Amino acid sequence: MQLHRQLPFVAGAIFLLLLFAAPSHAHNITRLLKDHPAFSTFNHYLTLTHLADEINSRTTITVCAIDNDAMSELLASHPSISTVKNVLSLHVLLDYFGAKKLHQITNGTALAATLFQATGSAPGSAGFVNITDLKGGRISGIIPSDVAAAPTPAPSEMNITSLMSAHGCKAFADTLLANPDAMKTYQDNAEGGVTVFCPLDDPFKAFLPKYKNLTAAGKTAFLEFLAVPMYLSMSMLKSNNGPMNTLATDGASKYDFTVQNEGEEVTLKTKVNTVKITGTLLDEQPLAVYSTDKVLLPKELFKATAAAPAPAPAPEVAAADSPKASKKKKAAPEDEDTADSPADSPNADVADATADGNDGGLRLGSGRGLALVVLGLWLGLLLV
């Protein structure tokens, strides 16, 4: 068995470890590798680069586990953690390849997408690998890729705005760059850890007129509100429901929001609106950048739009809100419920006052009194 980009493998010690033989969502890569000490370094870096979270979140996947000797060769040149992540992600195939499937590849070769391709860090098709059936069942070395192994800056040195611009958040990135105070706050907190929630271009462009109406201080506070002063991986977000302080939080100015999640969906909520995280642009400790489907609005700067009340049934509205409508109902003496209802009480008082001058103390405002009057008149006519 051979996996390669364009060239065959160099010599080395690496095995194809088929971890997830069925489309199950309950796997844990680090737990499975814990029983294989020969892959302890590989397992350690899966955790350090947060690739373990990505692997565990997928339904079907094949991991080409690199043993300790091969990992030592990879780490000998002291690559940045971002470079290590790129190289390791090239060894995670986004499909299940069991032994039977591998040896039944059509024409003996197949193209497979990797996690490196899925991250968006791989240009073109650099994140795909060719699988060739050589009947051996063993991989001869680390998958070579100049693109994956290329030096990358440490996360704290990375140009966050350029990254956001390249992944659909250019409008927000340009707005952040145009605000020196907010940009400095982001940079000052980068070393200690920052998580940014950048709105996609279309919703942010639609929001810009409201942003331009803010004061200078309000604009700075709003931009700082969309970042948290700590590193939060996606798995951390999914396990941490509750309020979050932001870069704009300062004493009485809370500028916070609430993280909520249900299954794989993570949402951010204020008293004004709710947005959903749609993608991961960067997840390299100490920095994480996520895209959102809408612009999250802080209650300190924007008011919630009151929802329109549901219309009540027309007859009930007329009876409760219109005394005249209630008075018309009084003309139907046979309806005792209508005559005695609380909604008709203003008109009932008027009827009672009119009845005070009648003998017998009959209340014309009641259905029973009116019925007795009619009965008396009818008996009088019979006697005549």
Answer yes or no: do 230 and 136 share one domain.
Answer: no
Strands 194-199 and 287-292: parallel
Answer yes or no: do 176 and 277 share one domain.
Answer: yes
The answer, yes or no, to whether the previous bond of 333 is cis (omega within 30 of 0) is: no
Answer yes or no: do 138 and 207 share one domain.
Answer: no
What does DSSP assign to residue 250?
A: B
Which strands sit side by side in the sheet containing 109-113, from one edge to the other? 2-4, 128-132, 109-113
Report yes or no on 12 lying in a domain.
Answer: no
Packing angle of the helix pair 180-189, 170-177 (nearest 10 deg): 100
Look up residue 29 and give its two tokens: 């890569």
Examine the fold and report which residue of 292, 321, 346 is the final residue of a domain before the chain moves on: 292
Answer yes or no: do 52 and 128 share one domain.
Answer: yes
pLDDT of res. 266: 95
Answer yes or no: do 177 and 279 share one domain.
Answer: yes
pLDDT of res. 14: 43
User: Quick check: 55 and 32 in contact, CB under 8 A?
Assistant: no
pLDDT (tens, 9 = 90+) of the chain, 384 residues, equals: 445 443 333 223 344 444 444 444 457 888 889 888 999 999 998 987 778 877 887 778 888 888 898 899 889 888 887 788 888 988 888 888 777 777 777 766 777 888 888 766 677 777 787 777 655 555 556 676 766 767 666 555 567 888 899 889 999 999 999 999 999 999 888 877 899 999 999 999 999 999 999 999 999 999 999 999 988 888 888 877 899 999 999 877 899 999 998 888 999 999 999 999 999 998 877 889 999 999 999 999 998 765 545 555 555 444 333 333 333 333 444 443 333 433 333 343 333 333 344 444 333 344 444 343 333 444 344 444
Report yes or no on 173 lying in a domain.
Answer: yes
Answer yes or no: do 182 and 141 share one domain.
Answer: no
Examine the fold and report which residue of 127, 147, 167 is the final residue of a domain before the chain moves on: 147
Distance (Å, rounded) from C-alpha 226 to C-alpha 218? 13
Answer yes or no: do 275 and 165 share one domain.
Answer: yes
User: Which of 38-59 are b and which e, b meaning 16 or more Cβ less than 10 Å from the residue's Cβ?
Assistant: ebebbbebbeebbbbbbbbebe
CATH number at 95 reads 2.30.180.10
pLDDT of res. 260: 94
Report yes or no on 4 lying in a domain.
Answer: no
Answer yes or no: do 123 and 237 share one domain.
Answer: no
Nearest CA to 24 out of 61, 59, 71 is that of 59
Q: Partners of 274 in the beta sheet? A: 269
Report yes or no on 202 lying in a domain.
Answer: yes
Place of tokens 């199950």: 24
Sequence-distant (6+) residues with CB within 8 A of 50 are: 85, 233, 235, 283, 284, 285
Answer yes or no: do 141 and 185 share one domain.
Answer: no
Q: Partners of 280 in the beta sheet? A: 290
Report yes or no on 132 lying in a domain.
Answer: yes
Helix extents (H) in 196-333: 201-212, 216-225, 234-238, 314-321, 323-329
pLDDT of res. 152: 64
Distance (Å, rounded) from C-alpha 46 to C-alpha 55? 9
Task: Kindly report the pTM of this predicted structure.
Answer: 0.49
Answer yes or no: do 94 and 205 share one domain.
Answer: no
Report yes or no on 14 lying in a domain.
Answer: no
State the CB neighbour count (10 A cutoff) for residue 105. Answer: 15
pLDDT of res. 324: 35
Report yes or no on 237 lying in a domain.
Answer: yes
Examine the fold and report which residue of 259, 292, 325 is the final residue of a domain before the chain moves on: 292
Answer yes or no: do 187 and 214 share one domain.
Answer: yes
Sign of CA dihedral 155, 157, 160, 162: negative
Report yes or no on 374 lying in a domain.
Answer: no
Q: Report the Cα 63 to chain-centroid distance in Å.
A: 27
Domain range for residue 99? 29-147
pLDDT of res. 273: 96
Number of domains in the chain: 2
Answer yes or no: do 183 and 264 share one domain.
Answer: yes
